[in-house]
Amino acid sequence: GNGSAANDPADDICGNARDGAAPDIGSSEEVASCDALDIVVNSSADNTTAGDGNCTLREAILNANAGSDLTGGDCNCGENITFSVSNVNLTSALPSATANMNMNAGGSTVTIDATGIGGNLCVISNTSEVTMENIIWQNGTGSCFNLLGRLIATNCVWQGFTGTAIAGSFVGLSGQVITFDQCTFRDCGRGINLPKGETVITNSTFYNLTGGVNGVAVRAANNTGKLTMTNVTITGFDAGSGTDGA
């Protein structure tokens, strides 16, 4: 953050210094400029302490949802979340993604660790499209994402989730397209519960999925969705007595 309080009259809604007569960034006069800013996660911590100069992933998601600064100047507002740290250590489930947002670690990767966290780590709402690239999600005791909306993932890894890495909701939007390219699912209870709509998986790998009953790469029970897979490797899984997956 820039250390300025959100209500400082010298700052606009995003915590940036006002520039003469120019419209405030984030105001109704210039919403697009606020949306164009990157939100840079510069802390591995997991809190919402406003005004401490640290932008956490939790704060970044809250700002992206709101389209304005809720962090006392710690984070920009916008929809593009980037990282200047290599890891984030979560202590509880993340806020639901209720707006469109992009998470991108750039030319490197960022590891988001959810050790000890059960249930759904994050819900993507049915009004949202989330894109992500070069992110490793790991070690939750439940599932990583519950998809009600749309997810587009490139070069991402899901590992060590004892539940389902991607829990597609059966009440998800028909007609949506969920896309995974160059992704890896490993050491999880299950890879993907297919949501309604269409799931496209390319150039990806599933292995060591050991959930016992339905410990499968993709599961389509009670679902009317469509699955397309191209150049996908599936190995080392334990489907147990499950009959509705592969």
Amino acid at 10: A
| DSSP code of residue 174 | T
pLDDT in tens, 220-231: 655 556 889 999
CB atoms within 10 A of CB 195: 28
pLDDT in tens, 19-76: 444 444 444 433 334 556 899 999 999 999 999 999 999 999 999 999 999 999 999 9
H/E stretch holding 164 reads strand 164-168
| Cα angle, residue 151 at apex, residues 30 and 190 outer, rounded to 5° | 155
On the question of pLDDT at 216 being above 70, the answer is no
Q: Find where tokens 């599961």 sit.
A: 219
In whole angstroms, give the CA distance from residue 15 to residue 7: 8
Q: Tell me, rounded to whole angstroms, the distance of Cα 154 from its chain centroid.
A: 12
Query: Per this entry, what is the length of the chain?
Result: 246
- Which of 107-111, 122-126, 210-214 has the lowest average pLDDT? 210-214
Report the predicted TM-score, pTM, of the whole model to 2 decimal places: 0.79
- Residue 223 has a pLDDT of 57
In whole angstroms, give the CA distance from residue 245 to residue 239: 8
Tell me the mean pLDDT in the region 122-140: 91
Q: Find where tokens 């304005």 sit.
A: 68
Residue 90 · residue 122 · CB < 8 Å: no
